[in-house]
Chain A
Amino acid sequence: ILNVEQSPQSLHVQEGDSTNFTCSFPSSNFYALHWYRWETAKSPEALFVMTLNGDEKKKGRISATLNTKEGYSYLYIKGSQPEDSATYLCAFSNDYKLSFGAGTTVTVRA
């Protein structure tokens, strides 16, 4: 079992504010780092798959960075909206299998 940790476990953010949270993972035998958004009563939705150290990816107001040497990734939400409320999962891959963190649950308050 690979140790993938996400911090914080949960956070509340005011609508319009920006926020970020972290995922730490083993820095050895790295293949890829995945981010998923999981809304209540829906299936997890892939946001990003990142493979290279220094990668930065963006999808709308959400972006992510990757540092494979020190084993962490940040996810940023700019100008949070109520529809951003969800649990954000990161998952580390050292082959085709994924090891997930427990997630960061984001609640955006109007």
Chain B
Amino acid sequence: GAVVSQHPSRVICKSGTSVKIECRSLDFQATTMFWYRQFPKQSLMLMATSNEGSKATYEQGVEKDKFLINHASLTLSTLTVTSAHPEDSSFYICSALVGEGSNQPQHFGDGTRLSIL
């Protein structure tokens, strides 16, 4: 149980393109999902918390107009990297909570490797 599917797994596109990444909870409902970014040799860094039916909460230094998050249903959150540039190239991964509270594990997707040429 608690399977999270993330798509696509890899994207290579030209500078200026907008890229949408989907994160789906397959066998549970997720009111809260998280989006992380990981640069090489660094730790997973939380970008934003996605809440179903409300605006996402962004971490300090993350541009909300650059990284658009939509959590329109209890099983789907999307991250759109708008007008992507080479510095946006990174590994993006989502996770979801089954229950509430900090003592619940997060369930992760497989991640998306984004390369902007």
Q: Which residues of A contact B (CB under 8 A)?
A: 4, 31-32, 34, 36, 41-46, 49, 51, 89, 91, 93-103
Contacts and interface: CB of A to CB of B under 8 A. Distances in A.
B54 interface: no
A96 B43 contact: no
B78 interface: no
Most buried by A among B36, B102, B107, B110: B102
19 contacts: A32-B103, A34-B106, A43-B93, A43-B107, A44-B95, A44-B108, A45-B108, A51-B103, A91-B44, A93-B102, A96-B32, A96-B49, A96-B97, A96-B101, A97-B49, A98-B46, A98-B106, A101-B43, A102-B43
- The winner among B42, B95, B103 for most chain A CB atoms within 10 A is B103
Interface residues of B, number: 27
A96 B45 CA distance: 14
B108 to A, nearest CB: 4
Interface string B20-51: 00000000000010101000011111100100
A11 B42 CA distance: 17
A43 B108 contact: yes
Which of B45, B93, B95, B106: most chain A CB closer than 10 A?
A: B106
Contact of A100 (B43, B101, B104, B109): B43
Contacts of B4: 43
Q: Which 10 A-B pairs have the closest CB atoms?
A: A46-B105, A31-B102, A93-B102, A43-B108, A100-B44, A102-B43, A100-B43, A44-B108, A32-B102, A43-B110
